[in-house]
Structure 1
Amino acid sequence: MRMVPAIPRRRPEGIRWLRSDGTPNFSDRIHRSEGDAKILAKRPVYTVTRTTTILGLAEDMSRYNVRAMPVVVPNQDKLEGIVTAMDLVSYLGGGELYNIVVDRHKGNIYSALLKEHVSSIMNPNPVYVTVAEKLPKILEIMVTKNVGVVPVVFKDGTLWGIITEHDIVEHLAEKTVGRKVSEVMTSNVI
């Protein structure tokens, strides 16, 4: 039978005992890296659930003066979708989503506001970024996906905050970039 020497759980160092051999064990703790997204994100985030009525959504957007609201799972803050002011305009103003008002409510806008839920008009696959995302990647995502607002989530999908175009412009307003506006501006304004 082979004898294996016992490794003490603690080792002496001067007048004190250390709990380990001094080598770090990174698997013992959860590490969430902090990126630009976590810093830029606006909090608190005003959210709705998929069962919120369209009228409730419109009231909340007006009350909080926001143009997009993440849709979350109740009591969990897990991102489930997003609904924007453009979705609301499309629903109420004759856009593609207005067909819901026509088909389900026979064109009765009051019925559509009171009885229809956010789940009918939300985007169930929102563009989002994680808290560790850096600013250049956030900008790339917003430009390539053609969105003006992105929810910020942890890896498990829990909502942390929200970033809008305005937040990014506000962040960059005081920065020196070394280029003149005339070098990057468009001269063909519509």
Structure 2
Amino acid sequence: MHRNGQVAKQGDRLLKMRGKLDRGPVEFKSHIVQQEGEVMAIATRDVISVPPTQSIISAVATMTDCGFRRLPVTDPGTRKLRGIVTSGDVISFMGGGDKYRLVSVRHNGNLRAAVNESVRTLMTPKPETLPRNARLLDALKIIVGKKIGGLPIVDDDGTLAGILTERDVLRMLAAEHSPLTIEDVMSSSLRVTAPDSPLSEVTKDMTRFRFRRLPVISDDVLFGIITATDIMRYLGSREVFSRLETGHVAEVMALPVRTLMAGSLFTTTPETPINEAAREMLSKNIGALPVIEDSRLVGLVTEFDLVRGFSAE
């Protein structure tokens, strides 16, 4: 505990520079969108969804196999939207938040039993949505204003018609010229963790501070990055069950995060133009880039930061 606390303080000391972007209310340019229904032009129309009766483990496996961070839950016959499961819900379920009660209370810590509950017990009901005729400006106000990474698109009767993610928006906005650099938009005051931090601590930090990723610092050096997707993949691939002997969730949550981290690590620098960073994220299919200066971690830039940067110009 002392070592982890020490590392966190070191990370705080490293990451106190502030970006130049004013992080107050975003004034959206009127030229971004003038036509109704434009979200459908960039949204995914053929949306994969699961029924409310599907098991949690099966739903998370679908997210893992497809590389999704969110999965709509719909009625199997009508395709009417009933909720959405996000990587944040999975992190909460794994020990970070109130959805952990499904494991700890209802199933007395038995993870094997908990993951076979229906996904309706895990999903977020009545999620924020967009109508089919929504403008991109409408979507940006929700994504940036409410920090929501994906919005289901529904018809008037509630039928799922598509889904729009911040990555879809970034793909379009990245084609526009921007004078901004990474330093202008990056997050600089970050929480960090250590390679040997247990999964239980990381999921709690992610849930409490609404982070999808944490830099992993060892002796002032960037060791890697742990993401909600890494943790979700651990459950969705069913690798988690190979580590269970008693079936109790504590066996899993004691695992050090270094064992879950993806192998590749891509970084950027403060002076990199945001258009270049956007192209890098899209081509590498990653959601964030640690920002390195003089061999030190000085910040983190995410898809959300870039979308907000493009929108705020």
**Deviation string, structure 1 residues 69-117 (Cα, Å, up to 9, x no partner):** 1111111111111110110111013421111111111100011112x11
Residues 37 and 130, structure 1, Cα contact 8 Å, conserved in 2: no
Q: Could you state the TM-score of these two structures normalised by the residue count of structure 1? A: 0.75
Quickly say closer, same or farther: Cα 1:94–1:108, change in 2 above 3 A. Answer: farther
Larger Rg: 1
Q: Which amino acid aligns with 1:71?
A: V
Instruction: Report what 2:115 is aligned to.
Output: 113
Q: How does 1:80-99 map to 2 (within 5 A)?
A: 80-99=82-101
Gap runs ≥5 in structure 1: 1-32
Distance across 2 between alignment mates of 1:117 and 1:132: 33
Distance across 2 between alignment mates of 1:151 and 1:118: 17
Q: Cα distance, 1:169 vs. partner? A: 0.4
Distance across 2 between alignment mates of 1:154 and 1:160: 6
Q: Which amino acid aligns with 1:58?
A: V
Paired residue total? 155
Q: Which amino acid aligns with 1:158?
A: T
Residue 45 (structure 1) aligned with residue 39 (structure 2): no
Runs of 4+ displaced beyond 6 Å: none
Match of 1:58 among 57, 60, 64: 60
Instruction: Report what 1:18 is aligned to.
Output: none
Q: Secondary structure at the match of 2:162?
A: strand
Once superposed, what is the RMSD of the aligned Cα atoms?
Answer: 2.0
Residues 81 and 160, structure 2, Cα contact 8 Å, conserved in 1: yes
Q: Could you state the TM-score of these two structures normalised by the residue count of structure 2? A: 0.47
Instruction: Report what 1:72 is aligned to.
Output: 74
Distance across 2 between alignment mates of 1:186 and 1:170: 17
Quickly say closer, same or farther: Cα 1:40–1:110, change in 2 above 3 A. Answer: same
Q: Cα distance, 1:34 vs. partner? A: 5.9
Distance across 2 between alignment mates of 1:48 and 1:188: 34
**Deviation string, structure 1 residues 42-86 (Cα, Å, up to 9, x no partner):** 132110111110111111011111010111111111111111011
Q: Secondary structure at the match of 2:152?
A: strand
Instruction: Report what 2:179 is aligned to.
Output: 180
Quickly say closer, same or farther: Cα 1:48–1:188, change in 2 above 3 A. Answer: closer
Instruction: Report what 2:123 is aligned to.
Output: 122
Gap runs ≥5 in structure 2: 1-34, 190-313
Q: Secondary structure at the match of 1:185?
A: helix
Residue 131 (structure 1) aligned with residue 128 (structure 2): no
Q: Which amino acid aligns with 2:62?
A: D
Residues 36 and 135, structure 2, Cα contact 8 Å, conserved in 1: no
Q: Which amino acid aligns with 1:89?
A: I
Q: Secondary structure at the match of 2:77?
A: coil
Distance across 2 between alignment mates of 1:186 and 1:63: 32
Match of 1:36 among 38, 45, 60: 38
Residues 71 and 85, structure 2, Cα contact 8 Å, conserved in 1: yes
Q: Which amino acid aligns with 1:124?
A: P
